[in-house]
């Protein structure tokens, strides 16, 4: 019923910027929590940034001041602006949303992931 499609990943040099986007489509009534996670080889998946429907945000300490999460509720889309990228930011980034559907229930949905590689 709901699909999340991510875009914006790729190769970037240290100090560069990327903007990830994730658009949800399907039987959506309202998007609640939104978040970006990442997983590097040999590491656990970690929360990078989260955004509630009320507008509160939280970030991993490693990205504070460099990354910004935002949303467009009308488009059921969440963004992650990544600035001053570092090699240690290299990971597969996953979009996550908790969504009210037309069934009247909520569910968590995940994107398939997009690879961000920060390297010179």
Per-residue pLDDT 10s for the chain (120 aa) are 899 999 999 999 999 999 999 999 999 999 999 999 999 989 999 999 999 988 999 999 999 999 999 999 888 999 999 999 999 999 999 999 999 998 889 999 999 999 999 999
**How far is the C-alpha of 105 from the C-alpha of 92, rounded, in Å?**
29
Kindly state the greatest CA–CA separation across the chain.
48
Please state whether beta strands 10-12 and 57-59 pair in parallel, antiparallel, or not at all (unpaired). unpaired
Which two tokens mark 30? 């309202």
Q: Provide the 3-class DSSP secondary structure of residue 89.
A: helix
DSSP track, 21-35: EEEEEESEEEEEEEE
Which two tokens mark 103? 């069934």
């Amino acid at each position: 019923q709901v699909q999340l499609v991510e875009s914006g990943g790729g190769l970037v040099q240290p100090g560069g910027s990327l903007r990830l986007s994730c658009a949800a489509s399907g039987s959506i009534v309202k998007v609640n929590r939104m978040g970006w996670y990442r997983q590097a080889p040999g590491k656990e998946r970690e929360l990078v940034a989260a955004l509630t429907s009320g507008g509160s945000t939280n970030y991993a300490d490693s990205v504070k001041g460099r990354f910004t999460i935002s949303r467009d509720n009308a488009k059921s889309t969440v963004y992650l602006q990544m600035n001053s990228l570092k090699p240690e930011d290299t990971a597969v980034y996953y979009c996550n949303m908790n969504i009210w559907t037309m069934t009247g229930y909520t569910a968590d949905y995940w994107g398939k992931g997009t690879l961000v590689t920060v390297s010179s």
